[in-house]
Amino acid sequence: MALSVTDVVAPDTGQVVGQVPLLAEDQVPDVVGTADRAFRSWSATSLERRCQVLLDLATALAERAPALAEEYSRQHGKPVAEAKIEIDRAVDTVCWTAQAVGATTRPRTLPNRPGLAGRELRVEPAGPVLAIVPWNFAAVILARKVAPALAMGCPIIVKGPEETPCVAQAFQAAADEVGCPPGTLQTVFAEPAVVRQLVRSPRVRQISFTGSTRVGRIIAALAAENLTPCVLELGGHAPVIVTAGADLDLAAKTLVPAKFAATGQSCGSPSRFLLDRRIHDEFVDRFCHGLDGHSMGPLNSARRRDHVHRLVLDALRRGAVLRRGGTLPDTPGFHYPATVLTDVPRDAAILAEEPFGPVAPMLVYEDDDAAVAIANDCDLALSAYVFGEPGHATELAAQIDAGSVTVNAVPTAFPDAPLGGRRASGYGYEGGDEGLLAFGRLKILQTGGNLR
Ligand code: NAD
């Protein structure tokens, strides 16, 4: 039984639209103990049965998707259509995982060695998992944690986002409905102090955290107390290099919706625009023109909006030029206009801190070496983009230090591709075989007996 609640606020109006129960500190041992007990039976459940539960879960989620998209949009601020696309991607992720897990976890025979009859490499479930899910992609990131954990035989405790709780709640309801055994998936919401207690619990065997770099460092330090492995998917500040050979029409038409999707609140959002001097003016014109008639939702909270505005004001104070937006609207809720800054000086805070909002800071580069140097001159190294003649752009992409680099496109994260950051963007992978294996442990089983 939860002891307290927190308000859920609609970003469009700033009004309270609901409440979510919070886990109390003294409930943590119960939650972790339940996951630990569920581990024994769930890890012994056949792979076929676990995959069937996942496929049933996907069907139950797909049925809920239209109504859920409406509620998710209300709590998040993103348009209903965007919310629906994300939920559909979450459903796809669950299905892909059920189809992939068999091949990923198949035991592998290793070449024999003298004195042994056989050697086999097995993948076993890691144990109870704690997943901390952010509000900004509350559906797809939840699916990228829940589906592989369950597929691998691990019960999972989801610490859902208090800002957008409806998605984690819908997953829980769907899992209960399709016969996911009690304790296998537990959804909780909690204050930071209780989150830290969950992280420190020795019976949690794997942590999967997606959130800011600031909180990621706290989680990693606490997890180290029990040497609990973590996957940390942290902040990003993606550079986008637009070279002189780029198709500027394609670049602008791709980058406007990519930049302002989810009102810029995406870890992979293009957020540092590095423009070859020769195409600078034309690209800026096309990009700003692409904003005419473009609509987007509010930011998720006053805290987020104020952070974005602070970064914009800092850049302007240091000499950046305001091409679009940049003013706080006098309307209810947490809206902020699509903002374009050019001539952003290298010491502006917005080039070091993740803006996580609808701002496109742009600056000029003189040659390839300078473009790569600026792209890599940021601790956050999650994703990056290059627009240009394909051969040249691919050469630049190879020199960028980031977990994913895309040439002439800004795709979504596909279920079969491992996504992970470098340096301050975290470590470990989510998605693909690597994302499944994060919830497994390897065992080498060696058998003696051929000593003759
Ligand atoms: P956040 O780090 O502020 O919060 C994440 C969660 O951490 C919260 O739900 C909260 O429960 C918990 N938390 C907050 N403070 C804590 C503390 N002091 N101790 C323990 N737990 C604490 O992140 P957010 O604002 O919810 O999400 C946005 C961030 O997530 C951005 O930086 C974004 O780039 C990142 N993100 C990364 C990816 C990725 O795949 N790398 C994906 C989505 C979002």
Q: Which atom of ligand 1 is nearest to the CA of 236?
A: 34
Q: Evaluate whether 20 touches 166 at the Cβ level (below 8 Å).
A: no
Closest protein CA for atom 10 of ligand 1? 192
Can you say how many angstroms the Cα of residue 280 is from the centroid of all Cα atoms in its chain? 31
For residue 212, report the distance from its CA to the centre of ligand 1, in Å: 4
CA-closest residue to ligand 1 atom 42: 267
Residue having the nearest C-alpha atom to atom 41 of ligand 1: 233
Mean pLDDT in residue range 299-315 = 97
Closest residue by Cα to atom 16, ligand 1, is 192
- The end-to-end CA distance of the chain, in Å, is 63
Q: How high is the pLDDT of residue 412?
A: 85
**What does the pLDDT read at residue 449?**
79
Q: Three-state SS for 57?
A: helix
Does the pLDDT at position 426 exceed 90?
Answer: yes
For ligand 1, residues with CB inside 6 Å are: 132, 134-137, 141, 159, 161, 192, 195-196, 210-212, 215, 218, 233-236, 267, 354, 356, 382, 419, 421
| Ligand 1 atom 5 nearest Cα | 211
Answer whether residue 452 shows pLDDT above 60.
no
pLDDT at 149: 98
Single-letter amino acid code for the residue at 179: G
Has residue 159 got a pLDDT over 70?
yes
Ligand 1 centroid to Cα of residue 164, in Å, is 13
Q: How far is the CA of 135 from the centre of ligand 1 (A)?
A: 8
Question: Which of 8, 199, 212 has most ligand 1 atoms within 8 Å of its beta carbon, as the pocket-test mutant?
Answer: 212
Q: What is the pLDDT of residue 411?
A: 86
CA 163 – ligand 1 centroid, Å = 11
Catalytic residues: 233, 267
Q: How would DSSP label each residue in 34-78?
A: HHHHHHHHHHHS-HHHHHHHHHHHHHHHHHHHHHHHHHHHHHH-S
Determine the residue of 23, 130, 133, 136 to mutate for testing ligand 1's pocket, defined as the one with the most ligand atoms within 8 A of the Cβ atom.
136
> Quick one: pLDDT band at residue 450, thresholds 50, 70, 90?
low
pLDDT score of 3 more than 70: no
Counting from 1 in the atom list of ligand 1, the atom nearest the Cα of 211 is 30
Q: Which two tokens stand for residue 119?
A: 């050697």
Check residue 11 and give its pLDDT: 97
Ligand 1 centroid–CA 216 distance in Å is 7
**What pTM did the predictor assign?**
0.96
In the structure, what pLDDT confidence band is assigned to residue 1 with cuts at 50, 70 and 90? very low
Ligand 1 mutation pick, 159, 188, 195, max ligand atoms within 8 A of CB: 195
Express each pLDDT in 270-295 by its tens digit. 999 999 999 999 999 999 999 998 88
Please state the atom number of ligand 1 nearest to the C-alpha of residue 214: 2
The predicted model gives 142-153 an average pLDDT of 98
Is the pLDDT score of 150 beyond 70?
Answer: yes
Cα separation, 203 vs 147, whole angstroms: 20
Residue 286 is predicted with a pLDDT of 97
Using the mean position of ligand 1's atoms as its centre, give its distance from the Cα of residue 192 in Å: 11
Q: Measured from the CA of 162, which atom of ligand 1 is nearest?
A: 9
- As a whole number of angstroms, the distance between CA 168 and CA 61 comes to 11
Mean pLDDT of the chain: 96
Give the whole-number percent of the chain exceeding pLDDT 90: 97
Taking only the tens place, the pLDDT of each residue in 13-67 is: 999 999 999 999 999 999 999 999 999 999 999 999 999 999 999 999 999 999 9
How far apart CA 161 and CA 77 sit, in angstroms, is 14
Q: Whose CA is nearest to atom 28 of ligand 1?
A: 211
For residue 104, pLDDT over 90 is answered with yes
CB-CB neighbours of 38 under 10 Å: 21
What phi, psi does 182 have (nearest 5°)? -55, 135
pLDDT exceeds 60 at position 156: yes
Q: How many angstroms is it from 136 CA to the middle of ligand 1? A: 9
**What pairing do the DSSP bridges indicate for beta strands 270-276 and 359-365?**
parallel
Q: What is the pLDDT of residue 2?
A: 46
Helix (H) or strand (E) holding 137: none
